[in-house]
Structure formats: structure tokens, C-alpha cells
Structure 1
Amino acid sequence: MPSAPSELTLAATLPVPGVSIQIGPPLVDLLFDQPAATDAELVFGASFIAPRDDVVVLANLPLPVVAIKFIPPARAELLAELPALTVSTLLLRPSVPLDVAGASLPGVVFSGEVGYYSRTQRPTVGQTAHPWQVASQTEGGATQGQQDAAATPAGWDAFWRRTLGVPQGIEHRLPPVLAAAPEQRGARHQDATRLQDSTWFAHQDATRFAAARQGLFQNADPIRDATRFRHQDGDRTKRAGRVSRWQCAVLVVRGQGSDFQTARPQLKDWRGRYQEAVPPPPGISRWVVPEPPVPQPCYTPSPHLLFAALAATDGHLLFLCENHVTPPHPDGEPVVVPVRRVYFVINNVTLFRVSDGAPVPVFNLSLSLDASSWAWGFDAVLPARAEALVAPGSASGPVELVASVNGTPFRVLAESISRERIFGDASIRISGRGRNAVLAAPYAPVMTFSNTEGRTARQLMDDVLTVNGIPLGWAIDWGLTDWNVPAGAFAQQGSWIDALTAIAGAAGGYLIPHPSAQSIRVRHRYPVAPWEWSTVTPDFVLPVDAVARESIRWLERPAYNRVFVSGQDVGVLGQVTRAGTAGDVLAPMVVDPLITEAAAARQRGIAVLADTGQQIEVSLRLPLLAETGIIEPGAFVEYQDGSITRLGIVRATQVEAGMPDVWQTLGVQAYA
């Protein structure tokens, strides 16, 4: 501090109570009434409460410089009792309601400026260290917390009012002139911030609002009919008894707004397709597409734990077969699903891109196959952000994907992509076929197939799956009775799959694709004639408890018991009659160029005569149990329903995977 002369204070001899006169040089020194701060921040008047000066007057008397301080309860109207006083500077405190310009003070001349010190503190936003601090005076153009309020003709409350003491005995540093508050709450001093949507904060900065806004501390707009200076107390009643500069604020709970607030959870049946995933412990997850005939182990050799389900609530770890490989049941023994009170299934559905193994997010997917199809049908719904993962882009051909359903991989092609947008939600739908679709149009060229030398039907299929004598890499799992085909008897134009279908269909067979491998199975539509199904051991035995839904439809077909089957240019003419019948109901004659031997004629005739009489179409919807896995077409299923037992052959399979539920629907052909 500079070494300036000390301030001289003389007791007034004038008959003016509560007035002291200070005579000295201009007040340019900083007077510190608190010890030095430890945080290197200088805050003036942070804890200054008493004593205070309500009015400081710098005036000209016979002495050079005079500072007159009015100590409460003195009033500035007492200036009229000072003779020959010329006021150069008048500093007012909040408790002085004075109309300076209109005051009739004999002997007092105002020649300078009128200043107003409210000593209202505005803390630094985000770095407040004290409840309040001295605000710096701003003459104009500066933005500050205290501002002139716009006059409202009605509905405004007083900015300061007498409050009541808190009944809980809370001590505070305010003067004892405050009245007790009627509510059971109290606060020392706080700065209000903008609120909206009914959100409250303990401390906030008040900002100006267009309506229904109340600030804890602000400067009032001058009243035209009674006030002639810019700053005054906002008390419209002008009662002299109000001398408090600060008071307890009453929390305003309406009309407040804030850019940021604390939200309250709304439990209103919200549902989202996405959820926050729990990051697994550090580990490595590799997607490996199994390639037969290498056996797939139950656990992939890895020292890392891969959690495929949510954390158990009972504290137990349940280890499952990672690859979910169901061991094949011994030949001749059916898979019997036991009757349980609860069938517990842990489903796992994933979708990956074959080229780089990138995971593709999926909402739900479905796979379907029937006896008249030679490829798995594929359909999936993805989020819109996954479009780049399945779009072909500049690559030739569709994107190849691997859909894994409970450990069974399906390699499919995303052939068709469509986009659908609902308000607030966008998704894309992709559809396609299994990987053996590359053997058909539009990926396979149109070719002419023939045999220049005698071959068997099995060898004809191997010849079809070659280009200039080089195999395409596809294997044939032959399940028919083979027969010889003379040279020149086979002539077919079309794709590879067209030729394979023609060969299998000649003997009443059809094609079953492998889900992921380059293999095609050839099976007869009726491995056993329906009138001999009493000797068949079913592949699966399903109780009614394991089936969620059953639907039955009865069909009536012609009761043929005899059919003629013939070759075309070369071959045989076969007459196939159902044993034990008169053979009097003749079916339309069948002519096929590949019926060149009796073995082919007999298999084709059984397929014609088996699809006759009274039939039952049964639809069974059941979960994807670990005992059964995915039941494909061609499997014999025995369905037990109380005292009724039905045996049928699966003609269609549809898998619907929409996590967490995975269902398979079987179309079973049975006979009454």
C-alpha cells in the first residue's frame, strides 16, 4: 500500500445525530480488513457486514475535503441541517430511499454526481469461492448480473421484502431486522441460474425473463413519478423501516428455464432396439467358419472367457458348448425330446460378413427351406447404419454373409436390399438365398449339358458340376438308387442347378442344400412309401409339451393306385402298381428322357402314387431346442398329442430369429 496520510475523522459538533465528518486527502488507499487470501484471489468485501455506511457525502465546507458518513439510523435528509454545504459526490447505500433531485435541503448545493453502492456480490461463474463479493460499478455498456428491470404495469412483487426467521435456529450473518419466513426453508444467499422444465438448483444466476421472472438481487427501473435517480430500492411501498440489504430468497418453482438440467426418469413403457452393452473383460473373439469334414470342437482353444449371456443373478457361472454342436444320434435311434416343466434354451444369433469377418447388426432374421426349393431363403431386418456393410458397392456380385443361429452357420447372399423409414426409425431389409445360388441364374451362365457316353445318374451330376472337365468344388451326397443312362439320353439347357434338378427329379428326388458347406444332398421325396410308414423309425419324437403351436389341415387327393412311367427316345416303359390294390385307378402317364432303367421307373412311380389319398398338413411351432437343433426337410417326425400319435415327413422348415426368441416352424406331411 502507498504511504498516504491517514484518514482523519472528526466528530461532528453539529446537532445532527448519527453523522461523522472525515477530513483528509482523496480516498485513494486500499483498506484491507481481512488477512491475505491463501488462494491468490483478491475478493473485496466478501465477508464485510458491519459497520456500514448508508450515506457518504463528499462536500465542500470551509475545509478542503470533507467526507460525511451517515451511520444508521441516520438519514440523508439531515443534510439540510448542515449549513453552506456544496455536495460534489453523494454515495448511497441500499437502505436510503431519497429523492435527491426533488429534496428540499436548504443550504445544500448538489454540484457533482450521485453514486449508488449496493455492495451486492456476484460470484465468478464456476469458480465461486465466497457466498458473495463486491460487484464492480459499470457506467454503461457492460453486462453484469444486476440490471435494470423492465417496468411491468401489474403483477410485479417487491424485489426486497421483510422475511421471517427460520424456526430451526439456523444462524446467519444477516442483520436482525429480518422477519421470520412462513416456509420451513432458509438459505443464506444464492445466485439463481436459468431453469426450465421444472428443474431446480440450489444456487443459480438470475437472468431476465419475459414474464413471471423474479431475481433475488437486481437494480430496479426508476419510477417516473417519485424517483429522479437511476438506482433505488425496489420496494414500492417506500416504508422507512426496510434497511436490510440482503434477505432469504424464496424458491420460485414456475416459469424457470435452463439450458441444462437434471432429468427425472420417466417410466412410461419405453422400448428401444438398442441397449448399452457391457464390455467383456480383455479377450480375443475370432469368428471361424467351420469347414467340413474337420470336426468342430465344443470349445475353441483360447485362454479367454467369452460371455455370451448376461451376468447370472444367482452368482453361478454356466458353461455351455461354445459352438453348440449337437452330436449326431446313432443310426436307427430317434431323438426323443423329454417332457419337462420348463424348456430352457440359450439363443445366440449373429450375422457376419464373410470377406473380412465384420459383424453386421441385425434386428431379426429368418431362414426357410422346403422340398420344392434347392436353396435356403434368407430375410433380415438391419438398422439403417448397416447399409454400408451389406451394399455390394464396386464389388461384383452380392455380399456373402454368415448367419449363425445357435451355433449352426448359414452362408447366404444378400441379393436384394430395400430401405424403410418410419417416423423416428429407419431400417433396411435384405433378402437372398443360400450360397448354392451361385449355381443358378443370374450368376451362372446358360449352358447345354449332354452325355456323349454312357454314365450313371450319379456320374451325370459330377459331370454337370465341372467347367471344361475341372470340378467347381461342389460335392454331391447321393441318396437315390443309381441307374445307368445311355449315351445321348441326357440333354439339358440351362444353369448348373437346372441340370441337377432335372437329374434328381427323373427318379422322384429333390435337392437339399447344406447350410454352409459346398455340398448338395439328393434325397427321394418318399424314402419309404406311406403305406409302409408303420415300419419307419422316426428321426425325432416331439411331445405336445415341447410344441408351442399346432395347426392341422386335411386334404383330399385322387386315390391313384397305378401309373405308367416311360422314357423318351431311349429307355423303358414301366408299370407301377401299388401292392394290395386292384390297380384300377390310373394316374396320368409320366414321360422323362432319363427313365432308362427299371430302378428309375420304380422310384418315379412310388413318388407319384405316394402323393394320393387323404393327407394331413401339420404345422408345428417349437423352440430351437438343443436336442433337436434345426430340423430340415426330409426328416421323419413323430408328434405325440395325448393318445394320438402321428407320423409324418418334414416338407418345410422356417427359422425365425428375433432375439431373445428363436423359433422353428415345421411343415409336416402326414396321412389320415
Structure 2
Amino acid sequence: MPAVLNEVTLVAALPAPTASVAVGPPLVDLLFDQPAATDANLVFGANYIAPRDDVVVLASLPLPVVAIKFIPPARAALLAELPALTVTTLLLRPSVPLDVTGASLPGVVFSGEVRYYSRTQRPTVGQTAHAWQVAAQTEDGSTQGQQDAAATPAGWDTFWRRTLGVPQGIEHRLPPVLAAAPEQRGARHQDATRLQDSTWFAHQDATRFAATRQGLFQNAGPLRDTTRFRHQDGDRTKRAGRVSFWQIARLLTERQGSDFQIASPSLKGWSVRYQDAVPPPLGISVWVVPQPPAPIPCYTPSAHLLFAALAPADSHLLFVCENHINPPPPDGEPVVVPVRRVYFVINNVTLYRVSDGAPVPVFNLSLSLDASSWAWGFDAVLPAKAEALVAGSASGPVELVASVNGTPFRVLAESISRERIFGDASIRISGRGRNAVLAAPYAPVMTFSNTEGRTARQLMDDVLTVNGIPLGWAVDWGLTDWNVPAGAFAQQGSWIDALTAIAGAAGGYLIPHPSAQSIRVRHRYPVAPWEWSTVTPDFVLPVDAVARESLRWLEKPAYNRVFVSGQDVGVLGQVTRAGTAGEVLAPMVVDPLITEAAAARQRGVAVLADTGHQLEVSLRLPVLAETGIIEPGAFVEYQDGSVTRLGIVRATQVEAGLPEVWQTLGVQAYA
């Protein structure tokens, strides 16, 4: 086997500290640095003694050497320097490889065997004796612990036995022989004498009509019933019979006269306002896409200059729009729906795409908005063939315009689902108003702050910008403005999140415009509920115009005082309802934008107004020409029986499915 010995310095242990051992010419000096061992073995190795041997050489020397042990590192060149060394057995390990097959070591004669210890695991070829031997088959089976039981004639003994008849009977108070005793029952009344009575009518004498009434019973036959005792067989000869209390009835014929005669039919016609409808002939439906009205130009094209005033002293020319029409100022009068016998409404519902004006067929659609939402909700059911018209692309959802009785709503078709029934297929689309582009997932997440002092109104304008460039959205501010110091405003989120935070700090909310890029900011309670007696309603609805009405009573804590405070900077305000002692305290409100008394007062009014005994009213009415679609925030006065109630609209839902269009108003009122 090929082997390579590691290089070592040969060190052996002999009795003498320093000596020379001559093993034949030439002589080799052996250096002993350790005391002599107890045995006669020479141990060659390094300065340490390993716990194992790598090379064991059994050789015959002139000295009494039985074995030579090499500890790595060692080299086989030592064998060549030991003349007259006859190796009988050479044991090698993996760390001391040696080429024994072609080994030619001068002075070394191999007369024995070479064994190589590899220190590796070899597969052991052998057998493992099992502790068990092959069991011998036995014919013994399972022994039943019981034997066959012998049949015994003994059975179950009953506790009862057949009784013998005894002559004693059961004594009773009846006579031994029951004789049939027919008994008759006579009526207490006699036959009444027929009395003829006539009722005269103002029309004419009626001919008497005779009717015959026959009794409902027939001749009854006597029925005998036997009574038997339960103890022993009775004597059948002594049988008691029961006789019916009724006798044979006699047929009685009675006449009943009627005071009426056969009426003569009178023909009368009913006039209706409708006639039979004629199905329309086959043809092509022409879709008329409503286009927005073109703006009226300010100047009429003309090359002449018309001076309507004297020349100013600064010689400047002032041009005035000749086609400008100032709208009349609002007079503050409510819209009163008159009481009519019939309300005629011509409903018109259309849906078309904004990009190219392509009409979208629709079965029905609905729109909804409440005070907690900042966008109109949209839902519609379309035929399946219209899927290509509303399917979005990588650039975003399709923008649609839903027109309900002349009011346009610009919405985004954000979600599409399909429903298929046997013989019919439709798709449902849902989405939000166009101001959804200011929120996720279309708007990025940004951080808003004010590095300098601004008003709340100016903060909203700053939010609707990108690097100082306006986004094109207008804000219709309806709150009392207040100052916000530098660093007081910090908000992370989309544009709509920042706008909601600013409006909510003073108890306000956002109302989106149906079609324009405008957002209205309104207070939840423009007037405190305890001062609603001075409010002029926006709409007056009679009970005749409301198709359905429902009420729900709510009871909320009657708070009359609240503390409102800023966070890092601001004011601490105490808002108390006028005319009360302020003994019922509401939870404290903390908002970083409450920096002035104006903001604290508006937020406190919003907290104290939403208390006490309230009513949730649901009114369902058509979209009339006088009212249009009534949006949240409007004051509505309606008639509840004999009580006139005033409330503020909190939610509006429009359901359009031709030929009917309805709007349902959620009104908050106070009892």
C-alpha cells in the first residue's frame, strides 16, 4: 500500500541519558531525552507522547528490542539508517502511509507481514444472531373458560296466577234488573204563530218571495248502549239500556219572506285617463348625448371700440364684459313644494363615457352620500355586452357621467363584477365620485406641515398643491376661519386625509360637488339644535309629496359642557351650553389644530349638539323639479301628522330604475 511518513525527529527512551547504540556498521547515534521505560521497547517520537501509535515496527535487533513505535510526525528514512534491522511486522495507520510493495530501504529486511490500520469504518460482513428462534407450530387453541350449560326445566316464575271466580260480586246501588224506562223531554216553548211583517222602502213595493227552509236533521233511531263492569263477566240477561233523550222529530216547514225583489241591472261607465298602449315599431334608437352648455363669450366679435364712460385721468382703458350677467343674490326663501293631487315627474337617466361620449346602456343605478363620506358612492347594473365600455386600463378606471333628471354626476368605475343567470347575463359596476383621485389608491402618501403661520383656509389651499402648483381643485369654505401657528399642522397621508383632518378639527365635514372639481366645507351643525326655531328651512315638504316615512328614536347622553384643547400649541376652551348649569361633562377633546377660541367653540358646539333625545327620520320621495336631488347639510321641514318637524339632512340615496326615480333622505331631528 502506498504510504508517506511524516517527518519527525527520532527520539528514543533508553536507560542512559546520552548513549550510542551500535546496531552494525555504519553506526547510528540514538538520542535519548527521557528516562528508560519499564519495558524493553524503544519509543521514537516527538517531544510528547500521543495517546495512540501510528507505526509499530516489530524488528529483531542485536539489542533486546521487541518493538519500535513511531509517533507522527516520523519518516521511514530511519529504517534505512538501522543496519541489520529485520522487520517482522510493520503496522501502519492512516497518518503514516508507506509504500510497502516496492519498498527498498537499505539495511532493512522485511521478513514478516505488513498490516495497515486505516482507522476507517468498514462494512462488517457477518451475521447477527437473533435472540429468538423459530417458534414451533402448536395445535393448541384458545380454551373457553365456560362449558356448555345444561338445559334446566326451570323457567321464570310469575308472581301472578290465574284467579278463580268467586260468587261474591261488587255491590252497587242499582236494582238487580234494569228495566228500560223510556224518558221524554218536552220543549219549554210551543209553536209560535207566524207573524208577517213588512218593511217598506222608499223605492217601491217589493214582491214577496217565499223560501222554504228544511230542518238539518232526519229521523233518529233509538240507540242502546250497554254498560259493562271491569271485574268479572256480568250476567248478559241483566242488561241496562240507555234511551235517547230525544224523540222522533217532526218535519217543520217554515217560510221566510224577503222584502226585496230582483234588481234591474244599471249600466254605468268608468272613464280613465289612459288608453291601450301601442308597441313601438321596429327601428333604431338614437342616443342623444347631453353636452355641457358652451360658455357664453364675454365679448361679441367686433372691431369697433365702444366707450361707455369718460376717459380716466390715467389714460387707461377699462374693458367691461358686455355679456356678463350677475346672478341674483339668494333671497333666503325656502323651496316650498306645493300640495297637489297628482305629482307629475318626467324622469331622465343616462350614462355615458367622458372620454369619447359613448353611451353606456344601463338597467338601473344608484348614488349615495352621507355626512361621514367625502365622495359620492356609485353602483349600476349593466348588460353584459357593455363590459368593454367600462373596463379600465393600466392608466386607471373609466370615468363616467351619470345624469339623473338633469343633475350630472362624474364617477369612476372602480370595480366590475359579473353575474350570469340562465338566459340572462349582467355586470355590476361600482365606484366613487371623481374626487376619489385625491385618495388612495390614486394619491401617494405624503407628509403635510406648515413651516409658517397660516389660516385653516390657507392650509387647505396648500394641501391641494404639488410643489406649489395647484391641482385644480377649489375649496368652498363654510367655517369660521382661525389662525394656525407654524409647526402646529402635521399630517401624513393622501390629500383627502389632510383635508378631512383640517375640517374635522372645528367640527366640520366635506361635501363633494357632483361634477365640478370643488369641495365644500360645512359645519355639522351650522346652527345649534336648541336654536333651530330661528332657522329658515331650505325645503318644505308636505306629507303628500312623501311616499314613505319611517322614524327611529335615539337616546344619547345629555352633555352640556365639554373641554376642548390643543396639543403642543393652542388654547384650552370650556364650552357650555347656554341656559344650563354645565354639570354633565362630556369627554375632553384634544386636537393639534385647536389653536384659537374660534376653533374651540366650533368643535365644542359639534360635541354638545349631538346629545339628548333625537329622531332618525327616513323620507322617500321622487326627484321633483322643485327640489332636485337634496344633498346632505340642507334643512328640511316636513309634516309629521299634526306636528311640524325640522331636521338636517345627513344622508341622500338616489335609486334610478326607469321609469321610476326615487331619493331617500336620512334626516336628523330632535323630539
TM-score (norm 1): 0.53
- Which segments of structure 1 move beyond 4 Å, counting only runs of 4 or more? 274-281
Q: How much has 1:287 moved relative to structure 2?
A: 3.2
Cα–Cα, structure 1 residues 478 and 295, in superposed 2: closer, same or farther, change >3 Å?
Answer: farther
CA distance in structure 1 between the aligned counterparts of 2:296 and 2:662, rounded to whole angstroms: 27
Q: How much has 1:275 moved relative to structure 2?
A: 8.4
- Counterpart of 1:632 in structure 2 is 631
Cα–Cα, structure 1 residues 594 and 541, in superposed 2: closer, same or farther, change >3 Å?
Answer: same
Cα–Cα, structure 1 residues 328 and 337, in superposed 2: closer, same or farther, change >3 Å?
Answer: farther
- Counterpart of 2:340 in structure 1 is 340
Task: Give the partner amino acid of 1:339.
Answer: V
- Counterpart of 1:392 in structure 2 is 392
- Counterpart of 2:489 in structure 1 is 490
- Rg (Cα) greater in structure: 2
Q: What SS does structure 1 have at the residue aligned with 2:496? A: helix
- Counterpart of 1:542 in structure 2 is 541
Q: How much has 1:627 moved relative to structure 2?
A: 0.2
For the Cα contact (< 8 Å) 1:564–1:589, is it kept in 2? yes
What is the aligned counterpart of 2:290 among 265, 287, 291? 287
- Counterpart of 1:469 in structure 2 is 468
CA distance in structure 1 between the aligned counterparts of 2:465 and 2:510, rounded to whole angstroms: 18
Q: What SS does structure 2 have at the residue aligned with 1:360? A: coil
Alignment of 1:576-591 (within 5 A): 576-591=575-590
CA distance in structure 2 between the aligned counterparts of 1:420 and 1:380, rounded to whole angstroms: 13
Q: How much has 1:405 moved relative to structure 2?
A: 0.3
CA distance in structure 1 between the aligned counterparts of 2:454 and 2:330, rounded to whole angstroms: 34
Alignment of 1:199-214 (within 5 A): none
1:507 partnered with 2:509: no
CA distance in structure 1 between the aligned counterparts of 2:563 and 2:403, rounded to whole angstroms: 46
CA distance in structure 1 between the aligned counterparts of 2:405 and 2:481, rounded to whole angstroms: 36
Alignment of 1:418-429 (within 5 A): 418-429=417-428
- Counterpart of 2:86 in structure 1 is none
CA distance in structure 2 between the aligned counterparts of 1:420 and 1:330, rounded to whole angstroms: 48
Q: How much has 1:454 moved relative to structure 2?
A: 0.3
Q: How much has 1:289 moved relative to structure 2?
A: 3.6
Which 5+ residue runs of structure 1 have no aligned equivalent?
1-273, 297-326
User: For each residue in 1:101-122, what CA deviation from the matched residue of structure 2 results, as whole angstroms up to 9, or x when unmatched?
Assistant: xxxxxxxxxxxxxxxxxxxxxx
Aligned residue-pair number: 364
For the Cα contact (< 8 Å) 2:567–2:592, is it kept in 1? yes
- Counterpart of 1:312 in structure 2 is none
CA distance in structure 2 between the aligned counterparts of 1:286 and 1:512, rounded to whole angstroms: 28
Q: How much has 1:288 moved relative to structure 2?
A: 1.6
- Counterpart of 1:350 in structure 2 is 350
Task: Give the partner amino acid of 2:623.
Answer: L
CA distance in structure 2 between the aligned counterparts of 1:332 and 1:276, rounded to whole angstroms: 50
Task: Give the partner amino acid of 1:353.
Answer: R
User: For each residue in 1:345-393, what CA deviation from the matched residue of structure 2 results, as whole angstroms up to 9, or x when unmatched?
Assistant: 0000000000000000000000000000000000000000000000014
For the Cα contact (< 8 Å) 1:289–1:409, is it kept in 2? no
Q: What SS does structure 2 have at the residue aligned with 1:505? A: helix
CA distance in structure 1 between the aligned counterparts of 2:569 and 2:280, rounded to whole angstroms: 66
Q: How much has 1:277 moved relative to structure 2?
A: 6.9
Q: How much has 1:286 moved relative to structure 2?
A: 4.7
For the Cα contact (< 8 Å) 1:335–1:539, is it kept in 2? yes
Q: How much has 1:642 moved relative to structure 2?
A: 3.5
Cα–Cα, structure 1 residues 653 and 276, in superposed 2: closer, same or farther, change >3 Å?
Answer: farther
User: For each residue in 1:316-350, what CA deviation from the matched residue of structure 2 results, as whole angstroms up to 9, or x when unmatched?
Assistant: xxxxxxxxxxx999432000000000000000000
- Counterpart of 1:646 in structure 2 is 645
User: For each residue in 1:102-150, what CA deviation from the matched residue of structure 2 results, as whole angstroms up to 9, or x when unmatched?
Assistant: xxxxxxxxxxxxxxxxxxxxxxxxxxxxxxxxxxxxxxxxxxxxxxxxx
CA distance in structure 1 between the aligned counterparts of 2:663 and 2:556, rounded to whole angstroms: 28
Q: How much has 1:640 moved relative to structure 2?
A: 1.2
- Counterpart of 1:595 in structure 2 is 594
User: For each residue in 1:603-631, what CA deviation from the matched residue of structure 2 results, as whole angstroms up to 9, or x when unmatched?
Assistant: 00000000000000000000000000000
For the Cα contact (< 8 Å) 1:574–1:601, is it kept in 2? yes
- Counterpart of 2:378 in structure 1 is 378
1:363 partnered with 2:363: yes
TM-score (norm 2): 0.53
Q: How much has 1:643 moved relative to structure 2?
A: 1.6
For the Cα contact (< 8 Å) 1:412–1:432, is it kept in 2? yes
- Counterpart of 1:479 in structure 2 is 478
Cα–Cα, structure 1 residues 328 and 666, in superposed 2: closer, same or farther, change >3 Å?
Answer: farther
Alignment of 1:121-136 (within 5 A): none
1:525 partnered with 2:499: no
CA distance in structure 2 between the aligned counterparts of 1:328 and 1:366, rounded to whole angstroms: 33
User: Quick check: 654-663 or 330-339, which moved more?
Assistant: 330-339
Q: How much has 1:570 moved relative to structure 2?
A: 0.2
- Counterpart of 1:669 in structure 2 is 668
CA distance in structure 2 between the aligned counterparts of 1:648 and 1:498, rounded to whole angstroms: 29
Query: Could you say what the CA RMSD is over the residues aligned between the two structures, in angstroms?
Result: 2.0
CA distance in structure 2 between the aligned counterparts of 1:519 and 1:531, rounded to whole angstroms: 31
Cα–Cα, structure 1 residues 432 and 329, in superposed 2: closer, same or farther, change >3 Å?
Answer: farther
For the Cα contact (< 8 Å) 2:476–2:521, is it kept in 1? yes
User: For each residue in 1:546-586, what CA deviation from the matched residue of structure 2 results, as whole angstroms up to 9, or x when unmatched?
Assistant: 00000000000000000000000000000000000000000
- Counterpart of 1:331 in structure 2 is 331
1:435 partnered with 2:434: yes
Cα–Cα, structure 1 residues 650 and 290, in superposed 2: closer, same or farther, change >3 Å?
Answer: farther
User: For each residue in 1:405-456, what CA deviation from the matched residue of structure 2 results, as whole angstroms up to 9, or x when unmatched?
Assistant: 0010000000000000011000000000000000000000000000000000
Task: Give the partner amino acid of 2:388.
Answer: A
Q: How much has 1:641 moved relative to structure 2?
A: 3.0
Alignment of 1:85-100 (within 5 A): none
CA distance in structure 1 between the aligned counterparts of 2:330 and 2:606, rounded to whole angstroms: 28
For the Cα contact (< 8 Å) 1:568–1:592, is it kept in 2? yes
User: For each residue in 1:155-210, what CA deviation from the matched residue of structure 2 results, as whole angstroms up to 9, or x when unmatched?
Assistant: xxxxxxxxxxxxxxxxxxxxxxxxxxxxxxxxxxxxxxxxxxxxxxxxxxxxxxxx
- Counterpart of 1:574 in structure 2 is 573
- Counterpart of 1:21 in structure 2 is none
CA distance in structure 2 between the aligned counterparts of 1:441 and 1:276, rounded to whole angstroms: 49
Q: What SS does structure 2 have at the residue aligned with 1:565? A: strand
CA distance in structure 2 between the aligned counterparts of 1:521 and 1:652, rounded to whole angstroms: 16
For the Cα contact (< 8 Å) 2:289–2:359, is it kept in 1? no
- Counterpart of 1:9 in structure 2 is none
For the Cα contact (< 8 Å) 2:289–2:352, is it kept in 1? no
Alignment of 1:256-267 (within 5 A): none
Cα–Cα, structure 1 residues 564 and 287, in superposed 2: closer, same or farther, change >3 Å?
Answer: same
Task: Give the partner amino acid of 2:487.
Answer: G
Cα–Cα, structure 1 residues 556 and 604, in superposed 2: closer, same or farther, change >3 Å?
Answer: same
Task: Give the partner amino acid of 1:472.
Answer: L
Cα–Cα, structure 1 residues 276 and 338, in superposed 2: closer, same or farther, change >3 Å?
Answer: same
CA distance in structure 2 between the aligned counterparts of 1:645 and 1:542, rounded to whole angstroms: 10
Q: How much has 1:295 moved relative to structure 2?
A: 8.1
- Counterpart of 1:551 in structure 2 is 550
Cα–Cα, structure 1 residues 383 and 286, in superposed 2: closer, same or farther, change >3 Å?
Answer: closer
CA distance in structure 2 between the aligned counterparts of 1:519 and 1:430, rounded to whole angstroms: 25
Q: What SS does structure 2 have at the residue aligned with 1:556? A: strand
CA distance in structure 2 between the aligned counterparts of 1:433 and 1:641, rounded to whole angstroms: 34
Q: What SS does structure 2 have at the residue aligned with 1:615? A: strand
For the Cα contact (< 8 Å) 1:543–1:641, is it kept in 2? no
Cα–Cα, structure 1 residues 372 and 660, in superposed 2: closer, same or farther, change >3 Å?
Answer: same
Task: Give the partner amino acid of 1:669.
Answer: Q
Cα–Cα, structure 1 residues 583 and 422, in superposed 2: closer, same or farther, change >3 Å?
Answer: same
CA distance in structure 2 between the aligned counterparts of 1:559 and 1:478, rounded to whole angstroms: 30
1:623 partnered with 2:622: yes
